[in-house]
Amino acid sequence: MARTLPELRLKPGTDYYAVIGHPITHSLSPLIHQQFAEQTDQNLIYQAIESPLDTFPEMVEQFRQAGGRGLNVTVPFKQQAWEISYQRSEVAERAGAVNTLWFDDRDQIRGDNTDGCGLVRDILINYQQAITGKRLLILGAGGAVRGVLEPLLKENPDTCVIANRTLSRAEELVGLFSDLGDLSAVAYSDLAGSSFDMVINGTSASLQGTLPPLPENILTKEAVCYDMMYAKKPTAFVKWGLDGGAKLSVDGLGMLVEQAAESFFIWRGIRPETSSVISLLRT
Ligand code: ATR
């Protein structure tokens, strides 16, 4: 039986949005979207909803029926959000995951995935680093990496290598995305002797405060290291990049804000300014 939405009071005449996940208490999304709304003069309320693990579709439906306009979806529901989307963007379709939902004029659920766009915008615009023509190494082959591969490959890196503990998962991603570029799968132990201009960490190792088993000396002189995770202190991967001589080694806070901005744009048709929000979160 569907449960009632926790602590959700929807007033008529207000546009409601929310991030939905489990757990959700530490989400920065309400703060980010509140900043976007103030900055663009949009009258909306953005909340955080913790959905029970077994009733995600019901929660989405209750939110819609209560007048909700759109949802950001986070762990562990992105795949289920893909499944319940009546219509998906091309990027979301291939990513197999949806992080942005909204309801169209026929009340049907539409889905997109703004994670990859957020990552690429953070690298290209905020950090002013090119991806085109670079030798790219991606660490990890889970949902987070699958969600960003298409936008990354569309920037035309020279080559893109996916390294993963479980090689078969990396090979699976190569099978799914190899039409978009020069993509290959390797085990960490095969990386010794190679060199890369950009290393993106898409593993969840940073959550455990650890690093994938990376060999030394795989960074070129001008290398950029990017951790899709973010934390108050430098992550183990950000430290690894700095220690290894990367010219830039950063976490994914900017990606978080940029993917939120892209969702906001989908919902409201206005692109908020992100740098002030990233600075606010850094402090
Ligand atoms: P997510 O949705 O965050 O991507 P996931 O699908 O569980 O979560 O994937 C987690 C990724 O981090 C995987 O690539 C995983 O490697 P395996 O596929 O071999 O399990 C990787 N990972 C997690 N902890 C790791 C660690 N300590 N070292 C290296 N890779 C790790």
Q: How far is the CA of 163 from the centre of ligand 1 (A)?
A: 11
The pair of structure tokens assigned to 73 is: 């979806």
Counting from 1 in the atom list of ligand 1, the atom nearest the Cα of 210 is 27
> Model-level pTM?
0.95
Among the residue ranges 24-28, 113-117, 225-229, 273-277, the one predicted with the least confidence is: 24-28
In angstroms, the CA 19 to CA 27 distance is: 8
Q: How far is the CA of 205 from the centre of ligand 1 (A)?
A: 7
Contact criterion met (CB below 8 Å) for 120 and 198: no
- Per-residue confidence at 2, pLDDT binned at 50, 70, 90? very low
- pLDDT given at position 67: 87
Chain centroid offset of residue 224 CA? 19
Look at residue 205 and tell me whether its pLDDT is greater than 70.
yes
Active site residue 78: yes
The residue whose CA is least distant from atom 7 of ligand 1 is 142
Q: Is the CB of 210 under 6 A from ligand 1?
A: yes
Q: What mean pLDDT value characterizes the chain?
A: 95
Q: Is the CB of 203 under 6 A from ligand 1?
A: yes
Q: What percent of the chain clears pLDDT 90, i.e. is strictly above it?
A: 90
The pair of structure tokens assigned to 179 is: 């039409």
* Pairing mode of beta strands 100-103, 68-73: antiparallel
Cis peptide before 76 (omega within 30 of 0): yes
Q: What is the pLDDT of residues 95-141, one digit of tens each?
A: 999 999 999 999 999 999 999 999 999 999 999 999 999 999 999 99
**Which CATH number is 15-113 given?**
3.40.50.10860
- Per-residue confidence at 14, pLDDT binned at 50, 70, 90? confident
Question: Per the residue annotation, which of 11, 78, 233, 247 is the catalytic one?
Answer: 78
Q: Is the CB of 247 under 6 A from ligand 1?
A: no
User: In 3-state terms, what secondary structure has residue 27?
Assistant: coil
Are 15-113 and 116-254 the same fold in CATH? yes
In angstroms, the CA 98 to CA 81 distance is: 5
- pLDDT given at position 188: 98
Q: What is the pLDDT of residues 218-231, one digit of tens each?
A: 999 999 999 999 99
Look at residue 5 and tell me whether its pLDDT is greater than 80.
no
Look at residue 154 and tell me whether its pLDDT is greater than 90.
yes
The highest-level CATH class for domain 116-254 is: alpha beta
Domain boundaries, the chain: 15-113, 116-254
Contacts of 26 (CB under 8 A, 6+ apart): none
The residue whose CA is least distant from atom 27 of ligand 1 is 205
The residue whose CA is least distant from atom 18 of ligand 1 is 166
- pLDDT given at position 66: 87
Q: What is the pLDDT of residues 31-45, one digit of tens each?
A: 999 999 999 999 999
- pLDDT given at position 10: 67
Chain centroid offset of residue 202 CA? 10
Q: Is the CB of 144 under 6 A from ligand 1?
A: yes
